[in-house]
Every structure is written in C-alpha cells, then in structure tokens.
Amino acid sequence: MKKIFIIVPLLFVSLVMNAQSPFAGIWQGTLDEDKFDFLVVFRISEEGSKLKGTMDIPQQLIVDYKSIKIKAENDSLIVDLAAFKATYKAVRKSDSLLGIWYQSGQETPLNMALTPEDKAFRMNRPQTPQPPYPYICKDVTFVNKKAKINLAGTLTIPDTTKVWPVVVLVSGSGPQDRNEELLKHQPFLIIADFFTRNGIAVLRYDDRGVGKSEGKFNEATTADLSSDAGSAVSFLKTLPYIDKKAIGMVGHSEGGVIVLMQASQNKSLRFVISMAGVSIPCLQLLVMQNDKIMEGYGAEEDIRDFFWNFNTGLYNLVLTEKNNDTLRSKAMKLFDESAATLSDEQKKEYALSETYVSSMLMQLTTPWFKYFLSIIPSNYIKKIRTNVLAINGSKDVQVPADANIEAFNTYFVQQSGIYKETHVFPGLNHLFQPCTTGMTSEYAMIDTTIDPQVLEYMTAWIKKVLAAGKK
C-alpha cells in the first residue's frame, strides 16, 4: 500500500466554469493504489489568462480543495499540489488526460476523462433539512466567563409559549462549526431538526475560533472545550422557555468525552448521550485507532506491530519527558529500535524516517494533543450521578465499539433511579452512517448523514428519562 495523501483543512469555494481553455471543465479519474482506488476530480476554469481550479479526493476527506497551481504547455497540463508534495502531469488526447501522479518518489498512472456536470462526482445529502422549519430558530451568543470569549450558535425551540427540555450538542475533534459539517454532511443540523420536531429544544454552537465564535481554537485543550459546553448550559438556564430541570448534552467523538466530563461535575445536567465517545484511556484509543485503520488498508502484521509499539512508546514519552531536546533524542532512539526489523522497502513505502518522527513530534506536543493523550475517561465515568446513554457503531474504526462500551460498563457506578444504558448499532461507522467497511474513505461516498434509527433511539431514550422524572 502506498501512502499518498496528507489530510489538510478543507477549503470550500465556488467557481464559475467556462470553456475558453482546452483544459477547462471537469476531469475525473481513478488513482489505483494497490488494494484501494481513489477517485480524483479536478474542476478547472480560466480566469483571464490563468487556469484555476479545485480538487476532490473524497475517499481521503478532501473536497473542493483549492490550493493547487495549474499551468498548461501546449497540449500538456501540470497540476502542482505543494501541500501533498505531489505533481500531476498529463497530455490531452481528445477528451482524455493521459498522465502520471508523482509523489514521494513514486509514479502512479492517472488517466482522466472530461466529464459533464450532470455525470461528475457530487455529494448528495438528502437528509439535510430545508427551510421553512416548523419551529423557531434563533441566532444566539453566550459567554464563557472564564475564557472571556463569546460563543455563537443556533437555538431551535418548538415555540416560546411553553417550557421545553433542551439539549446542548458538543462536536468532535478539530475546529467544527455549529452543524459539525464534514464533507457536506451536517449531522448536528439533522439532529437539531429531528429533536426539535419531537419537542426537544437544541443549542448547537460554533467551536471557539470557528464561524462567529471568539477565541483561538489552536490554543484550546479538551478541558477548555468542556468549559465552553458548560457555559452553554449556564446560558440556557437564563431562558424563560427552557425547563431548568430538563437540560442534557449530546456529544460526538471528542464531544462524547466532553459530555462525560461535564456529567461528572455539572449538577445542572439531567442526562447526557455519548455518541462514539471514548471510555478507554485516550492514549490507548489512539494506538488502537491507528491499528484499526492500518488493518482496514490491508497492512502487513509487521508494519502494524511497528506502529503499535512505536506509537505506544512515543505517546508515553510525550507525556513524561518535559525537555524537548531529550524528548527528540529518546523518540529517535525509540524509532530506530522499533523499525529495526523493517526492510528498506517498507520504510520507503510508509515514509518512515527521521522526518516522520519530527512531524509526529510537532503534532503531539501541541497543547490539545498533550492534554488529550493524558485523558483517562474512567476518572470521569466513576463520578457520574446522572442519566447516561453511550452509543457506538459496530464498524467504527476511530472509536472501536467493543472496547469502549466494555470500559464504560466497567467503570460506571449504577445507582437507583438513574438510567445507564449502552447500545451498539450494527453496521454503522463513526459518523453513524450505514457502511461497508467503516473506513474513513467511505464517509464522503455515503449519502446518508446519520442513520434514522439513531435519531429515533436517542429521542425515545431522552423522552423515557424525562418521563421517569415526572413520576
């Protein structure tokens, strides 16, 4: 298996296409990478005398990526992808591009066809609700007094004539907007719509530093993001149409960890739902996550063993070694020892070198990563004294269901009058989509954003919890 991509932030643009240049239009082809094929789409337009465009590689979570340089020389096209350290060179023959993808010293054939708009790759998202909505949508801001920042979001409520239960939605890792948008999927918009139509108000908000929210996301840890979620609860308690005794949180992925943190300390919460949240130590989760993905890509056992052992050792070094120079020295020694059994071909194929270790250290020593590695969710789960539902998809490769559900059940202290439930949805992935393999490469290609049975299950559970409190 060749490693060809580096995941980069998604940039969304809209281009007006014209047909002045022989290369203007939509070019679509398949890059054959051993056991997996990756769809590649270039949308190219001519503005003045220059060619501009975007790139899609949906199986690598890349859509509408515009940081590409395009130039034409007679009947040849050259696309430079600096962030990927890659170049695509092709010659036009009729309505085809016959070319080569160059990356990491490897050459892979990539032929592309000029494709009409109605036949080109596009993402269908039929679940995304469209206005007008049969409920009230309010743009709101609330303050995190500790961080001294204002956070912006959307509050949906059935109406303002009654008092309603409410849910705060808490997003997963990475800078997320209030809809937790990924690859044009908007799961939080869909959850908010479904809950509100069923009599449950919802507050969803932009992460700090994202959208209309203040703050610096790249300086925030999971603890800081938990503080933001707690501030959302404080805000809701000031609203006359919100039931102060029926406030809950629903968090996805890292948000699933945050709701467990909040449930252990925030006495205002009546219930929380952890969607694909983490219950095992987060260091262990990241090692397991990488191994599951490597397995999904068909990596050999010795390569998987290398990553398991090296990642485990490196993460522990990051947590225990305070001196950066010593950390780097120990990390390089660990790498040499761990990679000693690998062949030169394997090291080249997986780009395993001192440069790889350096890039890992740059990522792992950021405030967010260091804090996340230190989280032991059982410390929070043991302290929870409110209603909790933990749900996972059976094919989740990012937060494997069995290990995390087992840990949750092990550490939660059952109490009288408290609902503690877990549920694994067969055939669903980390995003709770119906899937084939569960691999991240499927996310963009699946039309369904979130399986309707998940929405129905969460709604029924919330109503059961609320009804029990009224008896």
229 has pLDDT over 80: yes
Q: Say what the alpha-carbon torsion angle 265, 270, 274, 280 is, to the nearest 10 degrees.
A: 40
5 has pLDDT over 50: no
Q: How would residue 20 be classed by pLDDT, with cut points 50, 70 and 90?
A: low
Q: What is the pLDDT of residue 308?
A: 98
Over pLDDT 70: what percentage of the chain? 95
353 has pLDDT over 80: yes
Lowest mean pLDDT segment, chosen from 206-215, 218-227, 370-379, 410-419: 410-419
Strand 420-425 versus strand 269-275 pairing type: unpaired
Q: What is the pLDDT of residue 439?
A: 96
244 has pLDDT over 70: yes
Per-residue pLDDT of 434-455, as tens digits, reads 999 999 999 999 999 999 999 9
226 has pLDDT over 70: yes
Mean pLDDT of the chain: 93
Q: What is the pLDDT of residue 6?
A: 37
Q: What is the pLDDT of residue 14?
A: 31
Q: What is the pLDDT of residue 397?
A: 97
Beta bridge partners of 54: 43
Calpha distance 365→114 (Å, rounded): 45
Beta bridge partners of 135: none
Mean pLDDT of the region 320-334: 96
Token representation of residue 448 = 């369904």
Per-residue pLDDT of 78-137, as tens digits, reads 999 999 999 999 999 999 999 999 987 889 999 999 999 999 999 999 999 999 999 999
Q: What is the pLDDT of residue 162?
A: 96
Per-residue pLDDT of 301-316, as tens digits, reads 999 999 999 999 999 9
User: What is the full DSSP assignment across 342-407?
Assistant: S-HHHHHHTT-SHHHHHHHHHHHTSHHHHHHHH--THHHHTT--SEEEEEEETT-SSS-HHHHHHH
Calpha distance 155→1 (Å, rounded): 46
Q: What is the pLDDT of residue 34?
A: 66
Q: How would residue 414 be classed by pLDDT, with cut points 50, 70 and 90?
A: confident
